[in-house]
Amino acid sequence: MSSMNFPELVSLGSVAFDAHSSFMTGPALAPSRILECLYSDSSNYWTERGFNPLEDKCFSNDGPLSYSDYLGIQKVAQQRIQQGKRLLTLGGDHSISYPLMRAHREFYPDFAILQIDAHGDLYDNFMGNPHSHACPFARIMEEGLCDRLVQVGIRTLNPHQRQQADKFGVEQIEMRHFSKKIRDLHFNRPLYISLDMDGIDPAFAPGVSHHEPGGLNVREVLDLLHSLDVPIVGADIVEYNPHRDPVGITAALAAKLTKEILELMLENS
């Protein structure tokens, strides 16, 4: 375990950006919908394990990191981290994890990423765009922005993406092996969580642009989160698309996962 001290404060931020989506836009609208659910009277503020992150003295909701500027996200994230805060970022397409990781890397010399996703997001470029939401983890690995990348829930690999995973040494728990392999997953260094909502089965999370059947159920995601016992340096919840979520069921799930991840950030040490 790293001996470095982690900032006590945890900051909720949002990113209204979806210009690097490949199929349809919508994740720019995610933050307001998730926050509406988070603070709605339809539920309470407590996590399943009995913690209230929203009223914790170390928690603050600091609003948007950026409305439109992709690389500007990095600058605002850096500023907040410099202020002694750890970030949970809501909304955006998955391309935003790259500028977020650049910001985190300046401050955290040793951390792993847990990516929950139907997709590897490892394309060298997608339709000519190296910053597509299909590419962020190729950029992250090329620049050495983390010390270990573990992808869970993957079920869309093609030969190019398998090659990329090999090249970068990415560990993958493909969905077809999930029940056998998840038991052996352990982290021994601080962790960043990147949660793409399409990692969850579309039966539970229809509000995403890319419906990929055969994914994690909600309980499997919660069990995985509850099993994490290392410090969390930051997290993002991306790819929620309100256009595909007519009754708000996916927003409610994203809000619940926000609370559960905030608990990990505030309570794990």
Question: Residue numbers of the site for Mn ion (CB under 5 A)?
Answer: 94, 117-119, 121, 196, 198
Least Å from the CB of residue 153 to Mn ion? 9
The tokens of 133 are what? 């939401």
Q: Is the Cβ of residue 23 or residue 67 nearer to Mn ion in the bound state?
A: 23
- To 10 degrees, the CA torsion angle through 123, 75, 148, 6? -160
Least Å from the CB of residue 135 to Mn ion? 10
Q: Is the Cβ of residue 45 or residue 126 nearer to Mn ion in the bound state?
A: 126
- Sheet containing 148-154: order of strands: 59-66, 9-15, 85-90, 232-238, 191-196, 112-116, 148-154, 171-174
Q: H helices within 174-233, ranges in order?
A: 178-181, 218-227
Q: Is the Cβ of residue 85 or residue 94 nearer to Mn ion in the bound state?
A: 94
Least Å from the CB of residue 253 to Mn ion? 15
Least Å from the CB of residue 165 to Mn ion? 14
Q: Is the Cβ of residue 51 or residue 178 nearer to Mn ion in the bound state?
A: 178
Q: Judge whether 28 and 216 are in contact, CB under 8 Å.
A: no
Q: H helices within 39-154, ranges in order?
A: 72-82, 97-105, 136-142
